Each structure stands twice: as C-alpha cells, then as structure tokens.
Amino acid sequence: MLKQLTDDNFATEVLAMSKDKPVLVDFFATWCGPCKMQMPIVEAVAEEIGEGAVVGAMNVEVGQATAQEYGVMSIPTLIVFKAGQPSKTFVGVQTKQTLLQELKG
C-alpha cells in the first residue's frame, strides 16, 4: 500500500520505519507529466514488495520543507531510505525493476 507522506508524518513514516526495512519515497507534483507516468510504477512496486519495504509518496507542493531538506530539485525524485538515512537517490522516471532491485538489495 502506498503511504501518503507529509512534512508532519515524514519522521515517523519514513525515518523511524527505515530502521527496520527500506523505505522508498516518491517526491512528485500533481501537475508534473513524468510524475504521472511514475506513480503507477511506484504503486506496482508497493503492491509487489508487500511487507518487505515501505513505499510512500510526497507531493512537493504540500511537503516543501522535507523536499528542500533532501535536496529535491527535479521531480520525480525517488529516494530510498535505510537505517534512517537516504541510501540511494533516483531523478526522473524509473522502472519497476530498478526500484525493486534497490529495495531488495
């Protein structure tokens, strides 16, 4: 299931959860064409990975502070968090296989 992330819930849903399992965060905007292409892929990753990882999406228009904190300059940007820290950043549309490989690896 895809979690909806905000500046308010980021610490508990991402940083705390990533201590136990990897967390993928998709930084997007509703008006962004490539983001609209990425979202179904992220949803498919969430469904396939199940309990093996946490997958969330953050609208940069709502979560501006968090996006700025992690240096999100272009969207979509996808960041994998492990042990409370960013471990891998992808900019631009990514394939399901690439994302699954990073979460399982």
Q: Model confidence over 54-81: pLDDT tens digits?
A: 999 999 999 999 999 999 999 999 999 9
Q: List 55's β-bridge partners, or say none.
A: 2, 24
Q: Residue 51: name the closest of 23, 73, 79, 27 by CA.
A: 23
Residue ranges in 1-105 assigned as alpha helix (H): 10, 33-49, 64-69, 96-104
Q: Of these residues, 23, 35, 46, 103, which one is catalytic? A: 35
Number of domains in the chain: 1
Please, which pLDDT band fits residue 2 given cuts at 50, 70 and 90? very high
Q: Of these residues, 15, 29, 32, 91, which one is catalytic? A: 32
With contact defined as beta carbons under 8 Å apart, do 70 and 63 qualify?
Answer: no
Question: What CATH number is associated with residue 93?
Answer: 3.40.30.10
Range of the domain at 48: 2-104
The residues near 80 (Cβ < 8 Å, ≥ 6 apart) are 22, 23, 24, 25, 86, 87, 88, 89, 102, 103
Active site residue 57: no
Angle between helices 96-104 and 33-49 (to 10 degrees): 50
Pairwise pLDDT comparison (61 vs 105), residue with the higher score: 61
How many CB atoms within 10 Å of residue 13?
A: 19
Active site residue 35: yes
Whether residue 105 has pLDDT greater than 90: no
Q: Taking residues 22-46, what's their average pLDDT?
A: 98
The rounded percent of the chain whose pLDDT value lies above 70 is: 100
